[in-house]
Structure 1
Amino acid sequence: MDRRLTPYSGRVAHVSLSGVVNAPLTEGLQAQVIVPVANLCASPDGTRDRQLLLGDAVTVIDRDQGHVFVMSAKDGYCGWMAEGNLGQGPAPTHWVAAPGTHLYAEPQVQAREKMALSLGSRLAVVGSWGAWANTPHGFVPLRHLRALGDWAEDPVTVAESLLGTPYLWGGNSRFGLDCSGLVQLSMHCCGKPCPGDSDMQMSLGRLLSANEPMRRGDLILWKGHVALVADRDRIIHANGHTMSVAHEGIKDAVARISAGGGGLVLARQRV
């Protein structure tokens, strides 16, 4: 079983694993992320695997000295996070459609900002004040939000809105992204399901044959790396070469990654 997708902390398992693991079972408790970005780790205080954003829903399966083992609702990813990152609140109604925004204490541009939010964050809008959305966390410019279900149309356009975002291993936000984080965030903003890591993303869509030309939105996958095709000559990816989200020529990237020991392209997928 892949530990990243197995709701079993090593001590307690989700009821979906009944008959699969010999451990106490729980239906878990429902909660949501209440901070801008929360690290999802392999162990309590361990290395970061992925990140969840404000408003993301989780099922809490286990607790251990200020940490909780959770399963993410959006992709099934499992791991540990700080217990203080979670809370309760109304179900989100909107998502942040701008690359980034701020929550403000009052509905005016001169007000003190309370926190910065990333593209993809989810909020419950409980009212409006002119050009401002009122949420349990504070006020957000309405023009930065879209209703859940009102998705973006093109994952590449979403990714291109994040050009220059710094590279961060396991990053899923405007504050830092890795290759699979960029692909997942871009897909989710278009209402498309997408797993969290590049090896999982190899199962997305249809495998292209060797002689099929690639088009905008296709994926190119190496061992441990993934990129979105921007056009016939370029990809966009979060990469450790530029340490950012950047465009790169397809031929240049293939040659550079191979020369650097990253191997050959493993797959080209049409999502």
Structure 2
Amino acid sequence: MSDRRLTPANERVAASFLKGQVDAPRYVDGDSRHCGAAAADMVKVPGGSRISQLVHGDAFLALEDRDGFAFGQSQHDGYCGYVRSSDLADAVEQTHWVAVPQTHTYPDADMKLIQSGALYFGSCVCVNGTQGRWSRLHSGTYVPSAHLRPLGDWMIDPAEAAAQFLGTPYLWGGGTRAGIDCSGLVQAAWRACGLDCPRDSDMQEAQLGRALRAAEAPARGDLVFWSGHVGIVTATNMLLHANAFHMSTVYEPLDAAIARIEAAGNGPVTSIRRV
């Protein structure tokens, strides 16, 4: 059976490419949009709990708009769900990405003005001009140019990218500096390095890298998996992870994390994978 998390179909509509694979009253090609908000919650059902987030510029294939929500599929990881229609905008060509944990947007190229909004790490934007040390976005707002990198100018160390989230509050389904969960942290770090990464920890364990052999010691950048949890090795016996015990993104000795998680009844490490 197909994974419902990755199947763009509900009880009313399905993506056209699923014709013959799933039963639906209607098949549509959908509309290509992107996240126009700083971040947009994706929920399993309208009014339900958060399952993921889009950040500004994330592409979203909208299959249906109904009662203020768009149902569809995130185009960077295939995750499906409902996003508020007001958080989506028409797609524009993107040129840069936000390479700091968070930046502000301003109505003009002046840091003394009251900020007009925010953009989070990994957000993609369209720069259509510069003024001094400022970049003018497609929206007409300005951000510090130092906070942007051209698309394709990726980071090279996922562990370094993940470290930008140190101290970020834990948030189920979150993926930004305002709040993030364990698999969201891994995904944000891998995306910042130009690498594809699925959304949930079970998907990441199944798809990323190879399992370490018993004789191999964990090294920087390896991923440590438990049932329903993942962390990033940053140094010998050191783990960086967003977790509900600390309700934050923290460094924790790996052996201490292994012992604590197992003692809490959440089981042993299921694998350590090198990507």
Is the 1:106–1:112 Cα contact (8 Å) retained in structure 2? no
* 1-10 or 183-192, larger mean C-alpha shift: 1-10
State the distance in 2 between where 1:185 and 1:74 align.
Answer: 11
Amino acid at match of 2:14: A
Shift of 1:43: 0.6
Equivalent residue of 1:106, what SS? coil
Shift of 1:210: 1.6
State the distance in 2 between where 1:87 and 1:267 align.
Answer: 40
State the distance in 1 between where 2:240 and 2:273 align.
Answer: 15
Amino acid at match of 1:141: P
Shift of 1:156: 0.5
Q: Could you give the per-residue CA deviations for residues 215-261 of structure 1, whole angstroms, max 9, x where no partner exists?
A: 10000000000000011110100011111110000100000000011
Equivalent residue of 2:161, what SS? helix
Is the 2:32–2:91 Cα contact (8 Å) retained in structure 1? no
Shift of 1:89: 4.3
State the distance in 2 between where 1:90 and 1:38 align.
Answer: 17
Is the 1:39–1:51 Cα contact (8 Å) retained in structure 2? yes
2:225 to 221, 228, 231: 221
Amino acid at match of 2:190: M
Q: How many residues align?
A: 271
- Residue 254 of structure 2 is matched in structure 1 by 250
Is the 2:53–2:175 Cα contact (8 Å) retained in structure 1? yes
2:69 to 67, 70, 78: 67
State the distance in 2 between where 1:90 and 1:216 align.
Answer: 37
Matches within 5 A, 1:136-151: 136-137=138-139, 138-151=141-154
TM (normalized to structure 2)?
A: 0.97
State the distance in 2 between where 1:22 and 1:194 align.
Answer: 29
1:157 aligns with 2:160: yes
Is the 1:9–1:61 Cα contact (8 Å) retained in structure 2? no
- Residue 232 of structure 1 is matched in structure 2 by 236
Unmatched 5+ stretches in structure 1: none
Is the 2:182–2:243 Cα contact (8 Å) retained in structure 1? yes
Is the 1:235–1:250 Cα contact (8 Å) retained in structure 2? yes
1:172 aligns with 2:154: no
TM (normalized to structure 1)?
A: 0.98
State the distance in 2 between where 1:22 and 1:100 align.
Answer: 42
Displaced runs of 4 or more, over 4 A = none
State the distance in 2 between where 1:209 and 1:6 align.
Answer: 34
State the distance in 1 between where 2:136 and 2:90 align.
Answer: 17
Amino acid at match of 2:250: A
Matches within 5 A, 1:1-271: 1-23=2-24, 24-137=26-139, 138-203=141-206, 204-271=208-275
Is the 2:95–2:125 Cα contact (8 Å) retained in structure 1? yes
Shift of 1:136: 2.2
Equivalent residue of 1:199, what SS? helix
Note the aligned Cα RMSD (angstroms): 0.9
- Percentage identity across paired residues of the two chains: 44
State the distance in 2 between where 1:35 and 1:11 align.
Answer: 27
Amino acid at match of 1:132: W
Amino acid at match of 2:226: W
